[in-house]
Structure 1
Amino acid sequence: MQLKAISLYSGIGGLDFGFEAAGFETAVALDLDGAACASLRLNRKWPVIEGDVSRITSDAILRAGGLAVGEADILIGGPPCQPFSKSGYWATGDAKRLDDPRANTLHQYLRVLQDTQPAAFLLENVLGLAYSGKSEGVEHVRRGIARINAATGSRYSFEVQALNAAEFGVPQLRERVFIIGFRDGRHFRFPSRTHAPADESVELHLESFRSAWDALGDLPSNLNDPALQMTGKWAELLPSIPEGSNYLWHTPRGGGQPLFGWRTRFWNFLLKLAKDQPSWTIQAQPGPATGPFHWSNRRLSAAELGRLQTFPDGLIYPESRSEAQRLIGNAVPSALAEVLAREIRRQLFREEAYRSAPTLIPQRRAACPRPEPVASVPQKYMFLAGDHQAHPGTGKGRRAATRLSRAA
């Protein structure tokens, strides 16, 4: 049985592709971003509404999907996450969170949920939505669900959990918060993890993490596309960093040259994939030295980024690589969405056939090649060698001190 989904904040379709793999059809998708909508139209025949959800009525969404109130099987969506993002927190010392006008996306998701009354809902967001002591975003949604139930007579349940995509077979370490509820009041039970780091997996009776090599091993490695070449002042330093390392290799505590202070840069500065490990989180808008980079000392292609996000093969991406990375980096890994969609089918619709393994998890490759050789540090960087102070700790760095001095 093919089920119907309403998709809000659809982006390039990460959630939708996962639900598609679990037998759901996107009856209608909606997004404000023109490039995302263009990509959806290129890759699927779903009805796509391009526009600001706050200016689009729920009746218009239902009409576009050919649905009546209560007829959709699920509402899915990941409201834009900037007010709750960790990167926003580190950039400013705190985040405005619900005081940020961009948090209105949560209100709009709840408005459409109340108006359309699907059998289930799934809301995805960044981990910061549920930080300890900073969980007002989750509580706002919880109160919203309670108001919907009081206003409509529905009995939507409310279950929330943070999941790491790598623990469910995605070849990428990526943590997200999911809120799931059923209209009839039944409680969704989140699936248990199926994968763990290799040194823990045997003892835990789990599969080991899928690796970057599992995802990318059949794709050409040494691409000569100029758009993939690293640029900027640090480009020639990247080959001197081993697979699976970052700038910390070139600190007094690393194995290279003492060019930087310990933890004085963001973790993803000069970060390089290791073939035998999952990728780190794909960034949507990376700077010129922001990884993860390919082990061949270049940026990742759109096809490679899609593989690490477990998108189905054969998608058409924007011609601009930076635009493709922005859309892909903002998406949900599709295999994780498929895992959750299968559980929703099994629990809500009692379809035991969906106990079978998800189809979007990459197959394990038999042999992983040895790490690439590491180059010497070019002489042009050796003037940086010397004694460097480690970062003094959270809230004590140079930027924090500058903010405090301005506030005084």
Structure 2
Amino acid sequence: MLTAISLFSGIGGLDFGFEAAGFQTKVALELDGTACQTMRLNRPEWNVIEDDVNHISSAYLLERAGLSTGEPDVLIGGPPCQPFSKSSYWVSGDSLRLDDPRADTLTGYLRVLRDTLPKAFLLENVSGLAFKNKDEGLRLLIEGIEKINRETGTNYRVTWKSLKCANYGVPQTRERVFMVGAREGQSFNFPSETHCSANDLSEDLFSDKLPHNTAWDAIGGLAEPSPNEKGLSVGGKWGGLLPSIPEGKNYLWHTNRGGGYPLFGWRTRYWSFMLKLAKALPSWTIQAQPGASIGPFHWNNRRLTFEEMARLQTFPSDIRVECGRTEMQRMVGNAVPSLMAEILAREIRTQILRKPLDGSLQLMPKKKISTPEPEPTAPLASQYKALIGEHDDHPGTGRGKKAITRARASTTLTI
């Protein structure tokens, strides 16, 4: 198998995808203890190290992987992108101390890239990394890789793109930025989208794309969990409202522009407030740290089980966890859909490593023949009827109460 070094591995979302494409994770570095425990439970052969990337030398990573500089086929990882200054990338010599500790995730990845010199690398991050006028992290990475080329004589050529995972077969509308580089300067082309919505297909009779894989394709037909299973009931102030909201809708159903009762003003809550899955659509993004009323929730008016979330993330079917609900949700919500990683790993094999892989994608959900009708809604619970009435809509971007408060504070400080 081809070899991979994994940084910021989490529960192993990227690694599972590269594994499906014929790569073996030789060493995985992750700071979170529960995530490390989960990786060891499922893939003890990955040689998991529980530590901070800036406390571990690249030489030690190579030693644990049984590899030398230049030997790894790929370096993979999804470093959390925290606020930072790009005044310096790393300290010269053997020191692992960074000028700005807030920049430690991206600069840590760059340091390991410089020291291990893999044939290819893949870096994943949130789509905000490439937002206009907020792309300091992206520019730091590109400039850092150019610096690596100058210092080591390599010719890493970088390509990056924001990908909508649902348009590649993932049954979830997660969007992420992926950066791919080749040490010898080979060009890399991101694969074309293969899936789209049913509406788009109906408007283009000659499209060769497939319909989106849906939540039903991923989790439909699974047995209902035991009513006594902990952590699945939706409580709190708003839990009793969920049964009155149709599949695929959120709190906006109960506004003056929805089909329910006017309980809220239009767009006065977060989109994911009381958000419910629809069988016929991909899932919305699984949240890492949802509040009591933050979805997506199951169409049966409960939270999702680990198996259901794992399937929506296209993890391998044998994945298990031995931890509490909070830790499990956080690990799954922070992970990369493994199918997306498998697709990109296959392209890296073909375009950069010149070792194409035959056969179909292992982690692609199987399309179900039919989708059941949406579940019926329940009448509005009595405790919410007192809220029926006129409610102000959100005034618009930058005009809400919090935005006005921030603007006034800023003006006061300027004066």
Match of 1:40 in 2: 39
Match of 2:400 in 1: 397
Letter in 2 for 1:130: A
Structure 1 residue 74 corresponds to structure 2 residue 78: no
Cα distance in structure 1, aligned partners of 2:340 and 2:102: 26
Where do 4+ consecutive residues of structure 1 move more than 3 Å?
A: 81-84, 99-103
Q: CA deviation at 1:302?
A: 0.8
SS of the residue 1:158 aligns to: strand
1:9-408 mapped onto 2 (5 Å cutoff): 9-45=8-44, 46-83=46-83, 101-201=101-201, 203=204, 204-221=207-224, 223-224=226-227, 225-354=229-358, 356-407=359-410, 408=412
Write the deviation string for residues 276-319 of structure 1: whole angstroms up to 9, x where unpaired: 10000000000000000000000001111100000001211133
Q: CA deviation at 1:217?
A: 1.2
Q: CA deviation at 1:82?
A: 4.8
Worse-superposed segment, 244-253 or 194-203: 194-203
Write the deviation string for residues 202-224 of structure 1: whole angstroms up to 9, x where unpaired: 52320000000000013113541
% identical aligned pairs: 57
Match of 1:89 in 2: none
What is the aligned length? 392
Cα distance in structure 2, aligned partners of 1:11 and 1:285: 15
Cα distance in structure 1, aligned partners of 2:225 and 2:357: 41
Cα pair 1:197 1:209 within 8 Å, conserved:
yes
SS of the residue 2:357 aligns to: helix
Letter in 2 for 1:277: L
Q: CA deviation at 1:351?
A: 2.8
Cα distance in structure 2, aligned partners of 1:261 and 1:372: 26
Letter in 1 for 2:198: A
Letter in 2 for 1:72: P
Letter in 2 for 1:168: Y
SS of the residue 1:261 aligns to: coil
Cα pair 2:262 2:390 within 8 Å, conserved:
yes
Match of 2:94 in 1: none
Task: Structure 2 unaligned segments of length 5 or more: list them.
Answer: 85-98
CA RMSD, aligned part only?
1.5
SS of the residue 2:172 aligns to: coil
Write the deviation string for residues 56-104 of structure 1: whole angstroms up to 9, x where unpaired: 00001101111100000000000013549xxxxxxxxxxxxxx995432
Letter in 2 for 1:382: K
Cα pair 1:80 1:102 within 8 Å, conserved:
no
Q: CA deviation at 1:139?
A: 1.0
Cα distance in structure 2, aligned partners of 1:182 and 1:75: 11
Letter in 2 for 1:123: L
Write the deviation string for residues 174-193 of structure 1: whole angstroms up to 9, x where unpaired: 00000100000011110000
Letter in 2 for 1:250: H
Cα pair 1:195 1:201 within 8 Å, conserved:
no
Letter in 2 for 1:270: M
Cα distance in structure 2, aligned partners of 1:306 and 1:352: 27
Match of 1:95 in 2: none
Worse-superposed segment, 356-365 or 22-31: 356-365
SS of the residue 1:253 aligns to: coil
More helix by share: 1
Cα pair 2:279 2:372 within 8 Å, conserved:
yes
SS of the residue 1:103 aligns to: helix
Cα pair 2:162 2:177 within 8 Å, conserved:
yes
Match of 1:88 in 2: none
Question: What TM-score do the two structures reach when normalised by structure 1?
Answer: 0.94
SS of the residue 2:187 aligns to: coil
Cα distance in structure 1, aligned partners of 2:47 and 2:12: 13
Cα pair 1:222 1:296 within 8 Å, conserved:
no
Cα distance in structure 2, aligned partners of 1:257 and 1:226: 31
Cα distance in structure 2, aligned partners of 1:6 and 1:147: 21
Match of 1:91 in 2: none
Cα distance in structure 1, aligned partners of 2:8 and 2:328: 17
Cα pair 2:254 2:264 within 8 Å, conserved:
yes
